[in-house]
Chains A and B, each alone.
Chain A
Amino acid sequence: DSGVTQTPKHLITATGQRVTLRCSPRSGDLSVYWYQQSLDQGLQFLIQYYNGEERAKGNILERFSAQQFPDLHSELNLSSLELGDSALYFCASSPREGNTEAFFGQGTRLTVV
C-alpha cells in the first residue's frame, strides 16, 4: 500500500458527460501529480500541484482541469467525455516539489461508452 488513495476505482460513463476523480496523497506529501495511462500513449503526465498551486502542466486537454484543496487532496475533472478518454488515471504524491520520491495510487479506470 503506497498510502495514496484514489476514488473511485472504476467509473463507467457516457460520452459527453463529466466526471471527477479524487486523490488523497500520502500523509504529509505536498505534491500531487496526475497521469493518464492508455494503451496507445503509455503513461502521460497531465498536471502537478504543490501545496495548492499548479506547478507544471503536461499534455492535459482543455476539457480537463484539476485542483488541490487546502487539505491537500486533489480532484481531476474531465468534461465533455469522448471515447478516447477511456484510460487509467493515476495520481502520485511526493513530499516536495521534486519527483525523487513519487508514490502512486492504484488508479481510477475510466470507461467512456
Chain B
Amino acid sequence: AQSVTQLDSQVPVFEEAPVELRCNYSSSVSVYLFWYVQYPNQGLQLLLKYLSGSTLVKGINGFEAEFNKSQTSFHLRKPSVHISDTAEYFCAVTRNSGNTPLVFGKGTRLSVIA
C-alpha cells in the first residue's frame, strides 16, 4: 500500500518570499504523484502531477515540484508567494499500474503574511 507524509502541518511565510512544502511517500511499486490545493470553502484543485518523464514538474500559479525517487520525495516549491496562495495543500500518491485510489497526506496549511 502507498502512504504520504507531509512533514509540516503549517507553514507561515512572508509575501514575495520563496516557499517549499515537503512531501514524502512510501510505496513498494512505482507511483504517480500529485499536489492539490484547497482554498477556503472550496474543493480540491489539481496544481501539478508527476506521471513519468522529467522529474521537475511545472504546474499552475507558478508552482513546481521535483520527484526524487531515491529520497521518495515530491516537494512543492514557489519562488515568490502571494497573499492569494494562502490555502491548504495536499500531496497525493497512487500506484502507476492498475486502478487504485489516490492516497492523500494530512495537508499543509500555507499562510502568506503581508
Contact = CB atoms under 8 A, between A and B. Distances in A.
- A and B: real partners? yes
Interface of A: 2, 4, 33, 35, 42-43, 45, 48, 50, 55-56, 58, 90, 92, 97-107
A42 B49 contact: no
A106 B102 contact: no
A100 B34 CA distance: 9
Interface in B5-63: 32, 36, 41-46, 49, 51
Given A42-B106, A99-B32, A99-B94, A104 B44 contact: yes
Given A97-B99, A99-B94, A42 B107 contact: yes
B90 A43 contact: yes
A100 B43 contact: no
A102 B45 contact: no
Given A56-B99, A104-B45, A106-B42, 16 more contacts: A4-B43, A33-B101, A35-B104, A42-B106, A43-B90, A43-B104, A43-B107, A45-B103, A56-B100, A99-B99, A99-B101, A99-B102, A100-B49, A102-B46, A104-B44, A106-B43
Contacts of B41: 106
> Which range contains the number of B residues in contact with the other chain?
20 to 34
A43 B93 CA distance: 12
Contacts of A97: 99
Contacts of B102: 33, 45, 99, 102
A96 B106 CA distance: 26
B51 A100 contact: yes
Given A90-B43, A106-B42, A106-B43, A58 B101 contact: yes
Contacts of A107: 43
Contact of A105 (B43, B103, B105): B43
